[in-house]
């Protein structure tokens, strides 16, 4: 049994959905040592989130931005928390709909993702800045 934990800073991205699988794997050479395990990825923010979805066609990620921004519209008259602008409260809601973490099986030194699966950084703010994630790898060597 072995544990590895790292903090990774992701550079600022525009509002939308962004593939970050290879950026994470590049910073985790230890992954190759694990025969079986789990990789937990956690974002330390409440206005950005993580999910797993289609890794090939960029129109999927564009559609995600459209769908989530219609599902949780800006400027609803009943919102109370508007301190930081119209994208503030919707960003909190979207973050909880998608969640702050993903957890992926590790098999024979690699993430056991399906062929079409990738990790998305979901940036819900117009100007979210850089984001911090904590990756925790556990398993059997």
Give the residues lining the site for a copy of itself (CB under 8 A).
1, 3-5, 36-38, 40, 42-46, 51-54, 57, 59-60, 62-64, 66-67, 71-72, 76, 78-81, 83, 89, 92-93, 95-105, 107, 112-117, 120, 132, 134, 136, 138-140
From the list 67, 8, 72, the residue with the least C-alpha distance to 40 is 8
Question: How far is CA 125 from its chain centroid?
Answer: 14
Q: What angle do CA 14, 111, 137 make, to 5 degrees?
A: 85
In the bound state with a copy of itself, the residue whose beta carbon lies nearer, of 13 and 42, is 42
Distance of closest approach, residue 41 Cβ to a copy of itself, in angstroms: 9
In the bound state with a copy of itself, the residue whose beta carbon lies nearer, of 28 and 37, is 37
Distance of closest approach, residue 100 Cβ to a copy of itself, in angstroms: 5
In the bound state with a copy of itself, the residue whose beta carbon lies nearer, of 29 and 78, is 78
**What is the DSSP pairing of strand 117-123 with strand 48-54?**
antiparallel
Contact 98, 57 (CB under 8 A): no
- Eight-state DSSP code of residue 35: S
């Amino acid at each position: 049994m072995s544990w590895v934990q790292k903090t990774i800073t992701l550079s600022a991205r525009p509002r939308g959905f962004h593939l970050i699988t290879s950026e994470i794997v590049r910073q985790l050479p230890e992954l190759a040592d694990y025969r079986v395990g789990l990789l937990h990825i956690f974002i330390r923010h409440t206005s950005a989130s993580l999910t797993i979805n289609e890794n090939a066609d960029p129109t999927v990620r564009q559609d995600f931005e459209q769908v989530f921004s219609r599902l949780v519209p800006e400027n609803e008259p009943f919102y109370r928390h508007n301190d930081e602008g119209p994208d503030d409260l919707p960003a909190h809601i979207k973050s909880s709909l998608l969640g702050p973490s993903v957890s992926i099986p590790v098999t024979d030194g690699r993430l056991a993702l399906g062929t079409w699966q990738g990790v998305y950084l979901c940036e819900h703010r117009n100007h979210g800045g850089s984001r911090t994630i904590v990756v925790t790898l556990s398993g059997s060597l």
